[in-house]
Structures are given as C-alpha cells and as structure tokens.
C-alpha cells in the first residue's frame, strides 16, 4: 500500500483548542486542519491515529476504540491517512494508548500508530463526510444503542467453524470480555460443531461484541466465529468447570467434570482477531477488524506456544490483555522497566510476579534502578507474568515488560555488596506453584480491583480485614466473606493499582493463630 504524499509526517502546526470541522466541497478534510506535533503524550480523551490505509472505513477506526469504552466522536482525515477518535473518558483513552503501545494494530497488513492528541475534545460539523462518520458511530457504539436498535438479548450464541485448533471456554471469555462483563458461559458440541452460549451483563455489550467479532477468526485462517443473538434471556449454570462458568457465583461446585490438564497441540490465546501475525482477521464478513502486531516477531503467526498442564485452562475474565508477544522456548528472564526507583524493592517484584509463577531471582539494576531482571522458574510462567502485568500501574507508573537476553540472573560475587538489590528466592516457602498440579494453576487471573483472600483464622472478622487493608492509605469499597467458608473472602479496593499494592503489602501477612494471609486477584467482583 502506498501512503499519500506527506502522510508519513505529523501535521506541521499545533492547536490545543477543540477542532471545528471546516471542509471543502470535495471532502478534502485535511486542508484546513491544524494537527498535532506530539511530545511524549499528555493524556486526553482524543486519540490521534496515523498511517491508516487509504480505503479505511469509519467502522474499522471505531472498532479500534470499542474494546476500551464508548467512542463519542470521530473525525476522518482520509487524505492524510489519519483519524481522530474521541473516547467517553480519559481513562478509556489511556487504556487504549497503553494497550496499543505494546501491540501495534495491523489493518490490512499495515501497522497503524496511535497516540494522544493535543485536542481535549472534537467538535465536528454536518458535512457529508462527518454525517457518514456520525452514522457509523450510531451503528457501532454502545452509547447510541437506544430503543430503536436495542439488543434483542444479552445472550449470544457462538458457533466456531473450521475448528483446526482447540478452543476453550477461557479463550472465548478472554476474547468476549473485551466488550463488557461476561456473567455466564456454557460451551458444548452440537451437530458436530463447537458452540457456546455467552451472557453479558448488558445488551449493549452483546451488540458491540456481535458487530465486532462476527465472521472473525480466533486463530489465523481458522476457528471462525459465527455469532447470533440467542432466544434465551438468561443462562442457568450449575457448575464452574471447563464446560460452564458463572462468574457471579464463585462458590458453585465443579461437578464431575475435571478441568482437562493436557491439550495436545493447545495454543494459547493469540487470536486472529488480535493476532501475533499480520494475516489474521476474517476472510469475509463485516466489519473487517484489525489484528495486533506484537513488538517482537513470532515464528508461528497467530499462535503462541502451547501451555502445558493446568495452564492450558486459564480463566481471563475482565479487561484482559490479548495477544502479547510470545517468549522463545527457554527464556525465563524478564526485563522490567519504567519502575519507580524510589519505591521498588526485590521483595515487591517477587510477590507481584509470584502471582503468575515461581520467582527464582530478582535483580534491580545498580546504575538504572528503574529497571529490574526477574527470573521465573520456566518460560511459560514468564509468558504468563508478562502478558498479565505489562501496562499495569505499579507505584504510579505503567510496567514495561519484555523478554531479557539474559538466560539467568547472576548473584553478586562473594564479598561484593550490591545494597540488597539482588535477591535469591529459589528456596522461598512462598512459591505458589511448586506442588505439581497445584490448584493455584486454575486460579490465575489478570490484576483486578477485587482481591481473593484465603487462610483467614476464625477470630478475624470483616472489620479487622477492612482496617488492615486501609492502613496503607488505600480505599476499601466492599467486602464479602464466602458463604460456605469463612476462611475465604473477597475485598474490593478503590482501583486496580491499589489492589496491586495491597496484594504486595498483605500477601503472607501474619494474622495470628499461625495463619498467614493468602492474597490473589479475583475473577469476580462484589
């Protein structure tokens, strides 16, 4: 694809005032537009998108923003191969820019670049081009789902055609939860086809998911999604296992069906819709979505290595991150950067990364204390930690995580003091996964504002735990003991960042009576 002349350059002048659209009769929107010259990027609700294909549609641009929140306005500058997208909140825009800074979206085999705009809002007129953009917005965004186009149901029926690779309940959850809260899901085989019924909390989420995902491939060139609204208005789930899940009822039994421990040829979740290679997306169907290109190359376009054991059946509800670059076999050391040098310690990285695997060693770099090396026990655990924690806020800064070129973390030589910046945890009693087949494998979830607490002694009551978690200055929004087992509870913090710092601070906290608190991220909210 040839870019139009000048489209590879940023606009030559800056205006921080809202843009008022002024188009010429031939629709050349860019002539009177004053655009962005950007520094590192001050957060704004308005996103600047560059290097778009010449034949880009409004629906495709909107679909870049939909997984992160409602899109409230759109300005297309087709002559410049650019567009401006206004999100409903600055937080949604920050999530979008943070996500695409790790994974460059690919539209028709070309990378597209996304950054904050200098504009704080978009003001558009009623020119023909803008009327088309507004019509696309009304059709595609949940904020415009009104009585006329309200979703017929919150339940979607999903059929997976051309099933070459196994598709799990958890893979579907990860894909569909980008569009809203998934309450319940059931997977089954009918007429020799793999199918699922999936219930959202809101009809708008179901509408948005159907528009964006129908006709898309989960993996490159196969596992095509065919989505329709179900006649059912709700799903009745009796068991939480690999065939059915009710995220509102974590107390449900698993039933007779045990989660499958081995999936021969199982591929982890790097869908064609959000793909590790440039050839994902639907062979046909509307709208042609985009793929995401990891910042490192993959030998297996669209696939990442199979996850052995219970790791094949990870549950990833909530706003999970899809399709991170995969780690080459044998790489178990991660480079963690953009740390807060004033606050980071080896212990805090050990506890946080320990949620996703057994941390062997941690080294904070002596001359660059905003960087650290974290050695996991194997490459699968390193992949899990990287995909779940990349972009998450720690001590006020988003984590950047990439595979390291080092094969192990070296300990300082005897007699060489490194101010406690290198720690060996290989014999730590706090490893969560050292027992083969540990149930902790099936309880790995993305960071969330709600924490799961366990190993609570009988004498500790709700107020004790709420007070403990607020001592760090964090806000406790809700608390709930499990009905059948008061050794476990859910506690909801004010934000995901507060939950991350609370987990670091209070995991293994001594509650007395020889009980040390166990803290992990929850798949449920209160």
Instruction: For residue range 388-436, list pLDDT tens digits in order.
Output: 898 899 999 999 998 888 889 998 887 666 678 999 999 999 999 887 6
Residues near 292 by beta carbon (within 8 Å), at least 6 away in sequence: 100, 103, 104, 105, 106, 274, 275, 276, 322, 323
Least confident of 33-37, 94-98, 284-288: 284-288
Other beta carbons within 10 angstroms of residue 234's beta carbon come to: 12
CA–CA separation, 158 and 230 (whole Å): 9
| Cα 124 to Cα 134: distance, rounded to the nearest angstrom | 10
Cβ neighbours for 9, distance < 8 A, ≥ 6 positions apart: none
- Answer yes or no: are the C-beta atoms of 95 and 279 closer than 8 Å: no
| Beta carbons of 1 and 111 less than 8 angstroms apart | no
3-state secondary structure (DSSP) of residue 524: coil
Is the predicted pLDDT of residue 292 greater than 60, yes or no? Answer: no
Give me 82's structure tokens: 């650019």
Q: Of 398, 313, 500, give the one whose Cα is nearest residue 41.
A: 398
Residue tagged 């803008």 (tokens): 130
More confident site: 324 or 37: 37
Q: Is 277 exposed, middle or buried (0-12, 13-18, 19+ CB in 10 A)?
A: buried
Sign of the CA dihedral with 52 first, then 272, 330, and 440 last: positive
Residue 393, pLDDT score? 92
Name the residue with higher pLDDT: 266 or 499.
Answer: 499
In the sheet where 155-161 sits, what is the strand order? 217-219, 222-229, 155-161, 193-200, 182-190, 244-246
476 φ, ψ to 5°?
-95, 115
Write phi, then psi, for 470 (nearest 5 degrees): -90, -5
Query: pLDDT value at position 409?
Result: 93
User: Could you report how far apart the first and last alpha carbons of the chain are, in Å?
Assistant: 49
pLDDT at res. 112? 87
Tokens 């070459």 belong to which residue?
164
In sequence order, the β-bridge partners of residue 83 are 49, 76
Instruction: Give the tens place of pLDDT for each residue, 110-124.
Output: 788 899 999 898 887
pLDDT of residue 367: 86
Buried b (16+ CB within 10 A) or exposed e, 135-160: ebbebbbbebbeeeeebebbbbbbbb
Cα 393 to Cα 447: distance, rounded to the nearest angstrom: 10
> Count of residues for the chain?
526
> What tens digit of pLDDT does each residue of 315-351 get?
232 223 333 344 444 578 999 999 999 999 999 999 9
CA-to-CA distance for 312 and 308, rounded, in angstroms? 6
Do the beta carbons of residue 289 and residue 212 sit within 8 Å? yes
pLDDT over 50 at 285, yes or no = no
Strands 333-337 and 372-376: antiparallel
Residue 8 — φ and ψ, nearest 5°? Answer: -85, -5
Q: How confident is the model at residue 294 (pLDDT cuts 50, 70, 90)?
A: very low
pLDDT bin (cut points 50, 70, 90) of residue 495 is very high
Percent of all residues in the chain with a pLDDT value above 90, rounded to a whole number:
37
Which DSSP state fits 4?
Answer: P
- Torsion angle in degrees (nearest 10) through CA of 517, 522, 525, 526: -20
Backbone angles phi, psi at 260, to 5 degrees: -65, 130
- What's the pTM value of the predicted model, to 2 decimals? 0.44
Q: How far apart are CA 526 and CA 517, in angstroms?
A: 20
Look at 316 and 500; give whichever has higher pLDDT: 500
The widest CA-to-CA distance across the chain, in whole angstroms, is: 78
User: What is the model's pLDDT at position 498?
Assistant: 96
């Amino acid at each position: 694809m040839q870019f139009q002349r000048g489209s590879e350059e940023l606009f030559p002048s800056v205006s921080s005032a809202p843009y008022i659209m002024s188009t010429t009769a031939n629709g050349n929107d860019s002539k009177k537009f004053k655009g962005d010259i950007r520094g590192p990027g001050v957060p704004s609700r308005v996103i600047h998108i560059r290097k778009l294909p010449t034949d880009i549609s409004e629906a495709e641009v909107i679909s870049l923003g939909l997984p992160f929140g409602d899109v409230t306005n759109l300005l297309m500058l087709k002559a410049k191969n650019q567009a401006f997208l206004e999100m409903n909140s600055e937080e949604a825009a920050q999530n979008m820019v943070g996500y695409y800074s790790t994974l460059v979206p690919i539209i028709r085999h070309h990378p597209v670049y996304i950054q904050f705009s200098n504009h704080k809002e978009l003001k558009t007129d009623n020119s023909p081009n803008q009327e088309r953009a507004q019509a696309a917005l009304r059709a595609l965004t949940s904020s415009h789902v009104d009585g006329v186009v309200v979703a017929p149901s919150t339940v979607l029926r999903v059929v997976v055609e051309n099933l070459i690779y196994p598709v799990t309940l958890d893979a579907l959850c990860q894909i569909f939860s980008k569009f809203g809260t998934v309450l319940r899901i059931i997977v089954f085989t009918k007429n020799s086809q793999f199918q699922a019924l999936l219930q959202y909390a809101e009809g708008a989420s179901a509408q948005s998911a159907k528009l964006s995902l129908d006709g898309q491939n989960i993996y490159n060139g196969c596992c095509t999604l065919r989505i329709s609204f179900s006649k059912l208005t709700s799903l009745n789930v009796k068991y939480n296992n690999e065939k059915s899940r009710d995220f509102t009822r974590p107390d449900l039994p698993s039933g007779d069906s045990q989660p499958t421990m081995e999936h021969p040829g199982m591929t982890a979740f790097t869908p064609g819709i959000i793909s590790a290679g440039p050839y994902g997306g639907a062979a046909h169907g509307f709208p042609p979505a985009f793929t995401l290109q990891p910042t490192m190359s993959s030998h297996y376009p669209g696939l990442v290595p199979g996850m052995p054991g219970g790791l094949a059946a990870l549950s990833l509800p909530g706003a999970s991150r899809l399709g991170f670059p995969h780690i080459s076999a044998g790489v178990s050391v991660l480079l963690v950067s953009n740390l807060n040098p004033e606050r980071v310690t080896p212990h805090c990285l050990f506890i946080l990364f320990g949620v996703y695997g057994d941390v062997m060693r941690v080294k904070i770099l002596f001359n660059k204390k905003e960087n650290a090396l974290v050695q996991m026990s194997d490459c699968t655990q390193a992949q899990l930690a990287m995909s779940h924690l990349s972009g998450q806020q720690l001590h006020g800064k988003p984590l950047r995580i990439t595979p390291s070129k080092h094969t192990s973390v070296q300990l300082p030589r005897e007699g060489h003091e490194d101010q406690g910046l290198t720690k060996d945890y290989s014999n730590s009693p706090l490893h969560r996964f050292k027992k083969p087949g540990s149930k902790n494998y099936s309880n790995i979830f993305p960071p969330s504002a709600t924490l799961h607490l366990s190993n609570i002694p009988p004498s500790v009551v709700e107020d004790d735990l709420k007070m403990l978690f607020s001592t760090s200055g964090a806000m406790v929004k809700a608390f709930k003991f499990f009905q059948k087992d008061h050794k476990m509870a859910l506690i909801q913090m004010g934000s995901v960042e507060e939950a991350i710092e609370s987990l670091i601070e209070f995991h293994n906290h001594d509650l007395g009576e020889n009980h040390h608190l166990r803290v992990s991220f929850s798949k449920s909210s209160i």
